[in-house]
Structure 1
Amino acid sequence: GNDVWDWHERLAQHSDPGYAEKGQLTVTYLTDAHRACAQRISHWMRDCGFDEVEIDAVGNVVGRYKPATPDGKYLMTGSHYDTVRNGGKYDGRLGILVPMACVRELHRQARRMPFGIEVVAFAEEEGQRYKATFLGSGALIGDFRNEWLDQKDADGITMREAMQHAGLCIGDIPKLRRDAARYLGFIEVHIEQGPVLNELDIPLGVVTSINGGVRYVCEMLGMASHAGTTPMDRRRDAALGVAELALYMEQRAARDGDSVATIGMLQVPGGSINVVPGKCSFSMDMRAPTDAQRDAMVADVLAQLEEIAQRRGLQYKAELAMKVAAAPSAPAWQHRWEKAVDALGVPIYRMPSGAGHDAMKLHEIMPQAMLFVRGLHGGISHNPLESSTADDIQLAVDAFSHVLQQLAAE
């Protein structure tokens, strides 16, 4: 646990220009800081005793610890090493460094398992420099879109140029696709990124499902008019229509208990203090542990949007910007995490993940299950205050090792 905590501190020394000078952690796809992190991780993997270590065609760092017999399957695990802007040290990286410590112990004991262990430090999960979220894990399931190569970052550098500058072989990307028949499954350790475990004072949580989500980019259209001379019953206020919808979304999501709904962007373009808003741009983000639960909420919200617009004399546009399926944990793999947590004397607490993870991509081709580790400071994440303790990390290492022992005994 202490070593893994130290690795996080050392990895956090690398940060993009403009942030490093302020003491902030920002590592975006294929920047110098990103490539330095990849080198650091690859060297640590070799030090830990991995048999093969490579940086692949999209920048993933892949370490393999071979099985006892050449025909043995592999367990895949890992997470991402890129960060959001001014983010935290543990988001993603915990899921790389915890299994590395477990492999190091196996190597120290000169032990081989009946299966191999493949740890993947995914190059791009956050989608900060380019709009290519889950690029690293997506490439492993054959989901790399060539149109991404033409995207430009804020400095006008295309992804293709960034990859070529980093020495990556774009032509080899299709070869990264994994044959699911060669794998037992995928497991991921991740900091919770929320307040639940912290409030319950429980160090570990077993993930039941990664929430499925939809995002809409929307516009409400009314009539701009004089704020002083337009009577209240004659107004077609676009912003009030959205405000009413926002309150409904809050109530509708709360009805399910574990659904969430958010209007994260809300603005009146060209608005003035003395003008009734004629237009309001807004976003909608809705997530739930199952697709059916999510879709029922979305249907209700869209119906409410229609009703509000009709009643208030407004028009609207709602464009679907993203739709991601829920990723329920494979029952057998979730049970292995539960057995591991129970063996450590930690209460078994089951919970959905509201955030997206690389495990969602691997879920498309193989069984997956996740373990959450409690975060400090109210569980805040995507924030410099994101934190963990060596003691909680030690429990995560022990739980991961326990799952390895379970698999070996099966």
Structure 2
Amino acid sequence: MTLDPQRTIQELKALRDLTGDDQGAQRVAFTDRWVAARQFLKERLDQLPVEQHMDPAGNYWATLKGDSERELLIGGHLDSVPNGGWLDGCLNVLAGLEVLRRFNEQYGGRPPVTLRLVDWADEEGARFGRSLYGSSAASGHLDVQEVAKLRDRDGIPLSDALTQIGVTLADAPHARAELRNAAAYLELHIEQGPVLERLDLPLGAVLGTVGVERHTITFHGQAAHSGSTPMDVRRDAFLAAGRLAQETYTIAQRHGGVCTIGSVKTLPGIVTSVVETCELTLDQRHLDADRLAAMWQDAQDAARRFADDGGCTVDFGYLWNIEPIPFHPELIEATDASILEVTERSHRLPSGPLHDAAEVARAGVPTVMLFVQSLRGISHNKIEDTREEHIALSVQALDRLADKAVAWIQGQ
């Protein structure tokens, strides 16, 4: 069978028409449009001799049995953020579907190893604030007691949303059984950043997902009247915070990572008062664990310095962190080789966003990702886009990579 990337493009457009509107994709996890997207996938899988089921966490699997029980997994996610893009997540799934079709026809429904396509549940975390829900259940990193506390903005618990699709939250960790025969995992994704476009390259091999340190930094000064308090005697918590905001760019440049102050809260928060308390959220990311730790230490040192300079104090709060997760070196080489079979040049880059691939790799499954260029580097936005010729190349490269991964599995 000849692979048909144009079919993938047409299916992506059909899914966009089915589950989006003029504001973008609306496939938020566990909503009616997400269910419709799953049904869209199921109808196409019904045309193949695959076993389909939803696991105890709500992930959806299609299995094409092979001569070996060892499994090559290809994954992605159909859920989106509100007003999201037409490719984020679903490209992975529908490209994997096309690869599944090609393997089925080439091998008469019995490939050398078992192939499995998975739609991970709630990768985005857009509704309940917990990203990578389904893949973390499969990897063994889901804390059921913690996620049981989650509510959406309407007050609906995650457990109730799961019940609506036939899932019991307490059973979610049993999804770990899905990875027991996994020999390799592949994931195609739009880059969601500007690197490949700047290099004028359609595709790139992903080295791994960066580590993340996420903290609050709270400066404490003194509230005072904004009219009667001279500038040189103020203990302005916002001034210290502002100086730190600028310094984070220097820290990021020094270490080759990224730093983001994503939110700022001030008290008393009125125009007639010097700011007494200013709380920042700081997100720092790097592919190297030591440099990530150094970035966080530099931020703390700078915050203390600016606090002292302004007659303020500062304290720090922990939000969340995850270690850098490098992908499998031999599969990175295979990805590079697959890209070079369909285009002239390749590039290796880390992934700043987290992906389900990170959780699969954390579970010990050899993992790699393939990126395709994003126009303007924009994602999580209705203007998210990728050239159709690049989408076609990405499907071809994923298909070549699947062949190489099968050969690699057989050689283990």
Q: TM-score range by the shorter chain?
A: over 0.9
Match of 1:406 among 386, 404, 410: 404
**Paired residue for 1:395?**
393
1:75/1:185 contact within 8 Å kept: yes
1:213/1:287 contact within 8 Å kept: yes
Classify the secondary structure of the residue corresponding to 1:405: helix
> What is the deviation of 1:113?
3.0
> What is the deviation of 1:309?
1.4
Matching of residues 346-385 of structure 1 within 5 Å? 346-365=344-363, 366-376=365-375, 378-385=376-383
> What is the deviation of 1:237?
0.7
* Cα distance change of structure 1 residues 22 and 396 upon mapping to structure 2, 3 Å threshold: closer
1:253/1:297 contact within 8 Å kept: yes
Aligned partners of 1:336, 1:178: CA distance in 2, in Å?
27
**Paired residue for 1:264?**
262
Unaligned runs of 5+ in 2: none
> What is the deviation of 1:117?
1.3
Task: Note if 1:319 corresponds to 2:317.
Answer: yes
> What is the deviation of 1:276?
1.8
> What is the deviation of 1:124?
0.6
Unaligned runs of 5+ in 1: none
**Paired residue for 2:12?**
8
**Paired residue for 1:42?**
42
**Paired residue for 1:103?**
100
> What is the deviation of 1:199?
1.9
Q: Which amino acid aligns with 1:176?
A: A
Task: Note if 1:242 corresponds to 2:241.
Answer: yes
Supply the RMSD in Å over aligned alpha carbons.
1.9
* Cα distance change of structure 1 residues 175 and 272 upon mapping to structure 2, 3 Å threshold: closer
Aligned partners of 1:253, 1:94: CA distance in 2, in Å?
31
Matching of residues 138-287 of structure 1 within 5 Å? 138-147=136-145, 148-170=147-169, 172-178=171-177, 182-257=181-256, 259-287=257-285
2:159/2:168 contact within 8 Å kept: no
Classify the secondary structure of the residue corresponding to 2:128: coil
Q: Which amino acid aligns with 2:276?
A: G
1:205/1:349 contact within 8 Å kept: yes
Aligned partners of 1:292, 1:113: CA distance in 2, in Å?
43
* Cα distance change of structure 1 residues 127 and 345 upon mapping to structure 2, 3 Å threshold: closer
> What is the deviation of 1:182?
1.6
1:238/1:279 contact within 8 Å kept: yes
* Cα distance change of structure 1 residues 144 and 181 upon mapping to structure 2, 3 Å threshold: closer
Classify the secondary structure of the residue corresponding to 1:140: helix
**Paired residue for 1:29?**
29
* Cα distance change of structure 1 residues 280 and 170 upon mapping to structure 2, 3 Å threshold: closer
2:72/2:406 contact within 8 Å kept: no
Deviates more, 1:173-182 or 1:26-35: 173-182
2:52/2:61 contact within 8 Å kept: yes
1:290/1:328 contact within 8 Å kept: no
> What is the deviation of 1:79?
1.4
1:263/1:284 contact within 8 Å kept: yes
**Paired residue for 1:61?**
60
Classify the secondary structure of the residue corresponding to 1:275: coil
* Cα distance change of structure 1 residues 28 and 269 upon mapping to structure 2, 3 Å threshold: farther
* Cα distance change of structure 1 residues 21 and 84 upon mapping to structure 2, 3 Å threshold: closer
Aligned partners of 1:7, 1:320: CA distance in 2, in Å?
43
Classify the secondary structure of the residue corresponding to 2:119: strand
Q: Which amino acid aligns with 1:11?
A: L
1:29/1:123 contact within 8 Å kept: yes
Q: Which amino acid aligns with 2:98?
A: A
Aligned partners of 2:405, 2:120: CA distance in 1, in Å?
24
> What is the deviation of 1:171?
5.4
**Paired residue for 1:331?**
329
> What is the deviation of 1:97?
1.1
Classify the secondary structure of the residue corresponding to 1:13: helix
> What is the deviation of 1:172?
4.1
Aligned partners of 1:181, 1:35: CA distance in 2, in Å?
27
Classify the secondary structure of the residue corresponding to 1:243: helix
Once the two structures are superposed, residues 98-139 of structure 1 have per-residue CA deviations (whole angstroms, 9 ceiling, x without a partner) of: 111011122233444321111111111111211322111011
**Paired residue for 1:90?**
87
> What is the deviation of 1:180?
5.0
Given the two structures, how large is their TM-score scaled by the length of structure 2?
A: 0.92
Aligned partners of 1:161, 1:107: CA distance in 2, in Å?
38
Aligned partners of 1:83, 1:184: CA distance in 2, in Å?
28
Q: Which amino acid aligns with 1:115?
A: V
1:217/1:283 contact within 8 Å kept: yes
Q: Which amino acid aligns with 2:405?
A: L
Percent identity between the two aligned chains: 30
Aligned partners of 1:64, 1:130: CA distance in 2, in Å?
29
